[in-house]
Chains A and B, each alone.
Chain A
Amino acid sequence: MTGNLLIKVENMGIQFGGLKAVQAVNMYLNQGELVGLIGPNGAGKTTSFNMLTGVYTPTEGTITFDGLKLNGLAPYQVTQKGISRTFQNIRLFKELSVLDNVKVANHSLAKHSMWSSIFRLPAHFKGEAEMEHQSIEFLKIFGLDVYKDELAKNLPYGMQRRLEIARALAANPKLLLLDEPAAGMNPQETHDLMELIAFIRKEFGLTILLIEHDMSLVMGICERIYVLDHGQLIADGTPEEIRNNPKVIEAYLGEEVIG
């Protein structure tokens, strides 16, 4: 199912004052690919995600997504173009119900206007009913529909991670960015998560870029891997190539042995 070029990152870099956090990153993802982005702590992985999603504007280079240049777009515009993400530290809407969390992400897909809601016109009821229906469908896929009225903050940790992915999917992305989805999960939960990722990828025809520290997960499901260290790409290739790449081993070794 791998197809056309979906996103192309050319020479992307960002500078915070005198610090070059990320520089000269070149990447591409084809439609339907599942690619990993790995690297030691502080390598610039999340910073790269933030540039792809519009949180930061790159100081150099271009990002082209689906034929459109993304540089300078606000995060909500990037999301509406078809890139959605999860966060390393879970960022759910804690005081909202599980269902409402998904509905918020579904927001841009609904069309009914503010006036129709204020005056309770038929368009409002139709639009809201549709949102409710779609959101519950997403929750069902993730097995979260039984918790739909629960507040998001009351869910167990693993469920919160799943809800974050469900919420990201509800924004109807073409490209899904997952920032350490398995962080803090036990091996069983990680295994379930891997299956889930593979499933949603097939089900929704998604392209996925994944940051992860759990090597078994990355090596297990990614087709290609990019490795960042000190803000620069040091390697890319298949999991097998990455495993044997001396530069990668060097970048990781100190940490892996001590950690």
Chain B
Amino acid sequence: MKKSKVFWGYAVLALVIYAVVQVLISTGAIDIYYKNMLITMCINIMLAVSLHIVIGVTGQFSIGHAGFLAVGAYISAIITTKLMLPFPLAILLGALAAAGAGLIVGIPTLRLKGDYLAIATLGFAEIIRIIFLNTDYVGGAAGMQVKYLSNWTYAFVGVVLTILVISNFTNSRHGRACISIREDEIAADAMGINTTYYKVVAFVIGSFFAGLAGAIFAHNFYIIQPTTFGFLKSFDILIYVVLGGLGSLSGSVIAAIFLTVVSTYLANFPETRMIIYSLVLIIVMLYRPTGLMGTKEITDLFKFGKKGGTK
């Protein structure tokens, strides 16, 4: 079948990217600086795609995503450094803990709409951060020592898993139910869609993968501190999704890659870094107000040549 051919095409592409980078890392062609950039890029892609399912697909404007990142980071760090359990288990449990936090936060807040939801999620993320800040077991404000365990393989597998699960979810009756909530909640309800259920489901899936990203993030540096997970981090993630185009998975991936590269290079110019970064954002939003990809996916663009497009 044609569809499975496309799938295997992507699978091969992913494998090639993985293998090439892995070989370059082992031969030393990619030094530690670029290796770190690539892992950060993977983490940012995971975060962007996990927020995409909440904002882009379901249309729920959540700006507290860093809270779930923090849960994943701290829980996984506790498991590896305090309980001395293996890293893969820590990733899984970190992600599950974040999903649990998503469920607890999601059930009360997803009754709210628009601005109110945004403020409520922001508040919850701050609560999560303050809890870690005041827990001496995880080091409080000084932060927590974490083993360096992340590598390119974990990061890349994480990205592939995130994209695969979220795109599979989106392209099914369940994902369509979420999109219908984004388009018109009252009509979705009238068509027999349990809107509360699907909003919570999308939120929990998003939190799960934010937690996954958090686990890899925590073990990519030697220390994690509560300040890292402040609301500025939430806005960073939000920017990936908006810049990529609300509703476009590939858009949020591209935006995450693009902005990671930009901010990595700008690290060399600390005085002007934020000015240039902000200018880049303003210019992109001026010339592409619907984001880099709009609501289109990169796969749609390839089809254009044959059918001339439907829009």
Q: Is B310 an interface residue (CB 8 A)?
A: yes
CB-CB under 8 A from B172, the residues of chain A are: 112, 114, 117-118, 124, 128
A117 touches B174 (CB 8 A): yes
Known interface pairs A74-B189, A105-B192. Does A131 touch B173 (Cβ–Cβ under 8 Å)? yes
Q: Which 7 A-B residue pairings sit nearest by Cβ, starting from the closest?
A: A117-B172, A79-B192, A93-B183, A91-B187, A108-B192, A75-B189, A105-B191
Q: Is B262 an interface residue (CB 8 A)?
A: no
Q: Is B295 an interface residue (CB 8 A)?
A: yes
B169 touches A53 (CB 8 A): no
CB-CB under 8 A from B184, the residues of chain A are: 91-94
Binds A, one of B101-109, B193-201, B219-227: B193-201
Q: How many residues of A contact B (CB 8 A)?
A: 41
A107 touches B193 (CB 8 A): yes
B190 touches A85 (CB 8 A): yes
B173 touches A120 (CB 8 A): no
B187 touches A92 (CB 8 A): yes
CB-CB under 8 A from B228, the residues of chain A are: none
A76 touches B174 (CB 8 A): no
Binds B, one of A12-20, A96-104, A232-240: A96-104
Known interface pairs A114-B174, A114-B201. Does A107 touch B191 (Cβ–Cβ under 8 Å)? yes
Q: What are 5 A-B contacts with C-beta separation under 8 Å?
A: A80-B192, A92-B184, A107-B191, A107-B192, A112-B172
Q: How many residues of B contact A (CB 8 A)?
A: 28
Name B's interface SS: helix
CB-CB under 8 A from B194, the residues of chain A are: 74, 76
A-contact 0/1 string along B152-174, CB 8 Å cutoff = 00000000000001001100111
Q: Is A171 an interface residue (CB 8 A)?
A: yes
B61 to nearest A CB, angstroms?
17
A sample of 9 more A-B contacts (CB under 8 A), given A92-B187, A114-B169, A117-B174, is A75-B189, A76-B194, A91-B187, A94-B184, A104-B188, A107-B193, A108-B192, A124-B172, A127-B173
Known interface pairs A93-B184, A95-B295, A96-B183. Does A118 touch B189 (Cβ–Cβ under 8 Å)? no
B198 to nearest A CB, angstroms?
10
Kindly state the separation between the CA atoms of A107 and B175 in the bound complex, as whole angstroms.
Answer: 10
Partner of B186, one of A55, A95, A105, A108: A55
Kindly state the separation between the CA atoms of A219 and B146 in the bound complex, as whole angstroms.
Answer: 77
Q: Is B176 an interface residue (CB 8 A)?
A: yes
Partner of A118, one of B168, B173, B188, B195: B168
Kindly state the separation between the CA atoms of A171 and B184 in the bound complex, as whole angstroms.
Answer: 16
A79 touches B191 (CB 8 A): yes
B310 touches A75 (CB 8 A): no
Tell me the chain B residues, 108-167 only, with Cβ under 8 Å from chain A.
165
Kindly state the separation between the CA atoms of A124 and B172 in the bound complex, as whole angstroms.
Answer: 8
Q: Is A194 an interface residue (CB 8 A)?
A: no
Q: Is A149 an interface residue (CB 8 A)?
A: yes
Known interface pairs A150-B310, A151-B311. Does A107 touch B189 (Cβ–Cβ under 8 Å)? no
Q: Is B256 an interface residue (CB 8 A)?
A: no
Nearest residue, chain A, Cβ from B247: A95
Q: Is B66 an interface residue (CB 8 A)?
A: no
Q: Is A110 an interface residue (CB 8 A)?
A: yes
Q: Is A57 an interface residue (CB 8 A)?
A: no
CB-CB under 8 A from A100, the residues of chain B are: 176, 179
Q: Is B180 an interface residue (CB 8 A)?
A: yes
CB-CB under 8 A from A95, the residues of chain B are: 179, 183, 247, 295
Partner of A84, one of B175, B190, B247: B190
CB-CB under 8 A from B183, the residues of chain A are: 93-96
Partner of B173, one of A55, A87, A110, A154: A110
B181 to nearest A CB, angstroms?
9
Q: Is A224 an interface residue (CB 8 A)?
A: no
CB-CB under 8 A from A106, the residues of chain B are: 173
A76 touches B180 (CB 8 A): no
